[in-house]
Amino acid sequence: NHYKRVQAGPAQSSDVELAKSNILLLGPTGCGKTLLAQTLARMLNVPFAIADATALTEAGYVGEDVENILLKLIQAAD
């Protein structure tokens, strides 16, 4: 909805309903969850990054930091 408001401009923004901005995709492996998210990001022209949440750890421990996910997203935006 945010992207609809941005694309519509200030005159038409009152036609867009505001809703919760989070989404959870559920389904078995290989059913197209990631493909759907990538396709939506491409259609809306927004950056998209994939990160494995199971590899996340607190700072100072072996594993990937949350900052690395943000770095991937920033790199995807460039």
For 12-28, what is each residue's pLDDT tens digit?
Answer: 556 656 566 678 899 99
Q: Tell me the C-alpha distance between 48 and 70, whole Å.
A: 11
Tell me what pLDDT residue 55 has: 75
Percent of the chain's residues with pLDDT above 70: 67
Q: Tell me the C-alpha distance between 56 and 64, whole Å.
A: 5
Tell me what pLDDT residue 53 has: 76
pTM (2 decimals)?
0.57
Query: What is the signed CA dihedral for 51, 78, 33, 4, rounded to 10 degrees?
Result: 130
Q: Tell me the C-alpha distance between 24 and 21, whole Å.
A: 10
Q: Is the pLDDT of residue 2 over 70?
A: no
